Amino acid sequence: MKINKRSDILEEITHSYFKFLENAKKDKYHFPVMMDICSFDEVKTLNYKDLMEVNKISDLKLQMKIYEMSLSRGIL
């Protein structure tokens, strides 16, 4: 019974975490700041093409962190 509860809680937290990440990725101005790629002041000065490039880099950094977390915890 406790195992099922823990499993359900872990599944809910994981779902919530990835939902948060998807919403954060949609925010083109705050996502690079959250990923520590650049400051908000720097983001505000970027043209659209550069902003999309910075977001691409932010997304790659996020993917790398997710893989590192998964591998370090033996989740995969």
Single out the residue of 4, 61, 68 nearest to residue 76, CA to CA.
Answer: 68
Query: Could you tell me if 29 and 13 are in contact, meaning their C-beta atoms sit under 8 angstroms apart?
Result: no
Range of the domain at 57: 2-73
Instruction: Count the neighbouring beta carbons within 10 Å of the beta carbon of residue 58.
Output: 22
Domain count, the chain: 1
pLDDT tens per residue, range 40-74: 999 999 999 999 999 999 999 999 998 998 888 76
- The larger pLDDT score, comparing residue 13 to residue 3, is at 13
Single out the residue of 16, 11, 65 nearest to residue 37, CA to CA.
Answer: 65
Q: What is the pTM of this model?
A: 0.77
Query: Could you tell me if 32 and 55 are in contact, meaning their C-beta atoms sit under 8 angstroms apart?
Result: yes
